[in-house]
Amino acid sequence: MQAKLLYLSDFLNTCWQGPEAKQPKRGKPQTYSSMSFVLFFMLMLLKRIHAFAAMHRWAKANYALLGWQRAPDRKTIRRRFLALPALIQQLMPSIAQQCQQLHHSTFGYACSFADKSVFRALGGLWHKKQMLLKIVPHPSIDTEASWAKSDYHGWRFGYGLHLICNRNRFPLMATVTTASTKDYTLLETLIAPLQHRLGVVMADSGYFAQHFLQAIYEQFSVLVTTPCLVKVNQRLSAFQQYYNDMAGSVIGLLTYRRRKPSIEPAFAHIKELTQLTGTNQLPYKGLDRVSAYLLVASCTVQLMMYDNFSHQTELGSMEAFKAAFQ
């Protein structure tokens, strides 16, 4: 196995707390470990190999690089790819926790930042009038995608990557939905795996839904603040008053200014890795495949930053990491 792959494999195995890490199942042992497949799909992302047939051809020629005794068949690759979202949503918080223990000032996340970025769907556009009439004018259209409006790009048809990161742009947790899904409905998914080390999460106005924010605070003791305040021309509950005090304070306002310089570069890293900048489209159709692809990219950014920190290089530098696997 290549030295860097072996080094990353050891790190992932240290982080992984999944079923196979705790207690192997009875019967025939698993031929390919979950973490080796995470590295495999990371390599496929970096090499721009998206088709399962092309992945299979690469695996047949290079399976020894991952410590495999033989190459997995195409059906196995496809099955493990579609299983990635659940796997990576367990893995990313574990990586975040391991990195925090390594160096708290760099990877700590008591104060974090949340946002969504919309990625363009593969194929043609499905206009809203046609969607309402259930008319699909062209077979290239991804019928699982939907519309959302971005402050910077206007209306986009595709999928939303919901991300939470720390002040140093290190991704902590991510999830993928169709673009029209309301931001605040994903707060529980993002916060629950990180709740024991989170204190405050800064988010934009798309997350301002009082009943959701209060439920998050009561369930996880994590305060999510936005630039919006609860109207004061009504009797405020204890939570609403606390929220206003925190969100409207000088410290709260100054911390909110760190949101954009933290979360936007994190999305930029993911877009650069996947070459999805500008008007470029996703390489897959369907929520299951798009989720797997974007979550692999998010996890790859985590591994890249961990590798950069370990080698004392700039945390967000990509060139050396990408070059190691070309």
Q: Is the pLDDT of residue 27 over 50?
A: no
Going by C-beta distance under 8 Å and a sequence separation of 6 or more, which residues neighbour residue 20?
30, 33, 34
Structure tokens at 243: 């929220």
Q: Is the pLDDT of residue 25 over 80?
A: no
Q: Which H or E run contains 148?
A: strand 146-150
Q: Is the pLDDT of residue 22 over 90?
A: no
- Position 250 scores a pLDDT of 94
Query: CB–CB of 189/235 below 8 Å?
Result: no
Q: Is the pLDDT of residue 234 over 80?
A: no
Going by C-beta distance under 8 Å and a sequence separation of 6 or more, which residues neighbour residue 52?
74, 77, 78, 81
* Rounded to 5°, angle at Cα 247 from 246 and 249: 65
Mean pLDDT on 139-164: 91
Q: Which residue has the higher pLDDT, 298 or 67?
A: 298
pTM of the model: 0.94
Closest CA to 284 of 147, 158, 186, 180: 158
State how far the alpha carbon of 42 is from the alpha carbons of 21, 33, 236, in Å. 20, 14, 49
The dihedral formed by the CA atoms of 12, 14, 16 and 21, expressed in degrees to the nearest 10: 120
Reduced to 3 DSSP states, what percent helix, strand and coil does the chain have, rounded to the nearest 5?
Answer: 50, 15, 35
Q: Across the chain, what does the average pLDDT equal?
A: 92
Q: How far is CA 46 from the centre of its chain?
A: 16
Mean pLDDT on 256-285: 94
Write phi, then psi, for 321 (nearest 5 degrees): -65, -45
User: Which range among 95-99, 230-234, 261-265 shows the weakest confidence by mean pLDDT?
Assistant: 230-234
Model confidence pLDDT, tens digit, residues 61-115? 999 999 999 999 999 999 999 999 999 999 999 999 999 999 999 999 999 999 9
